[in-house]
Amino acid sequence: MEDEKVMSGAQLQEILTEISFAPNCVDMKWDWSIVDVRSADPGWLTRDPGDGWLIATTFQRPDRGNGEISRGQGRKWFVARGTTESGVVKTCFAACKMILEHEIMEAFLYKEKRVFDPHNTVAELATLQDGKRG
Average pLDDT of the segment spanning 66-76:
94
Label residue 45 by pLDDT band (50, 70, 90): low
Q: Residue 11: what pLDDT? A: 96
CB-based contact 73:56 (threshold 8 Å): yes
CA–CA gap between residue 102 and residue 96 (Å, rounded): 10
Render pLDDT for 4-39 as a digit per residue (tens, 0 to 9): 999 999 999 999 999 999 999 998 999 999 999 877
- Helix, strand and coil in the chain, % to nearest 5: 35, 20, 45
- Taking residues 60-64, report their average pLDDT: 91
